[in-house]
Amino acid sequence: MLAAVVHLEGTSVTVHLTPMEGEGSEELAGVTDPKEPGPIIPELKELAWGAGSFIVFALLMRFFLYPRLKKGMDARYHGIRSAHESADAERAAARAEVAEYEAQLAAIKAEAARKVDDARATLEAERAAAMADVNAEMSAQRSAAMAEAEAAKAAVRDQIAAAVGDVAGRAGELATGRRPSDDVVTRVVQEVMAR
């Protein structure tokens, strides 16, 4: 057995271990025997069991577990790859459908624009024809009204000319004391009314 000897010198402490004589000296001699292996060094049978279990596990991994793992990984990879390819195919099909839809939409829009333009042209032609008819009717009515107005003017003009001639003749008679001739009065009245 070991005994500890402690020395105090100021602030430093020194500890020495010394073997004790008596009962515990055999135990101390057994522990420090250099012929026996250390407590952390494995024995040969432990090394054999460890190496054997490692070799069995390596063979099990190489021939049984790894091929199954590889097959599962390959199946997963091929599944993902096929999903990507089908997604790309569906995306391309969707783009083709969108392009076809847009082409049909453009054709429908062009057809609608053509129909609107045709309707607009037809409406414009009908409006122009209606305006021409209305203008012709208005022109005819205007001509008829002007002819009636001219006829009324002419009828009234003769009456006015006759009335003015009578008044002018009477005024000339009152002013001069004799009646002027009807030809002179008519000529003067026509000149005045022509202005």
Domain segments of the chain as ranges: 1-36, 153-194
What CA–CA distance (Å, rounded) separates 69 from 77? 12
Look at residue 53 in the predicted model and tell me its pLDDT: 96
Kindly give the parts of the chain with pLDDT less than 70. Answer: 21-35, 37-38
Check residue 74 and give its pLDDT.
96
Look up the pTM and report it. Answer: 0.39
Q: Which of 164, 170, 167 is nearest to 190 (CA)?
A: 164
Give me the pLDDT at residue 22, please.
60
CA torsion 80-84-85-91 (nearest 10°) is 160
What's the CA gap between 161 and 190, in Å, rounded?
7
Residues 6+ apart with CB under 8 A from 19: 1, 2, 3, 25, 28
User: What is the rounded CA–CA span in Å between residue 41 and residue 54?
Assistant: 19
Rama region for 22: left / alpha / beta (φ>0; ψ in -120 to 50; rest): left
pLDDT for residue 135: 93
Rounded Cα distance between 188 and 171, Å, is: 14
pLDDT on residue 169: 82
The predicted structure's pLDDT at residue 26: 52
Q: How far apart are CA 94 and CA 100, in angstroms?
A: 10
pLDDT at 181: 82
Task: Give the sign of the dihedral formed by CA 132, CA 135, CA 141, CA 142.
Answer: negative
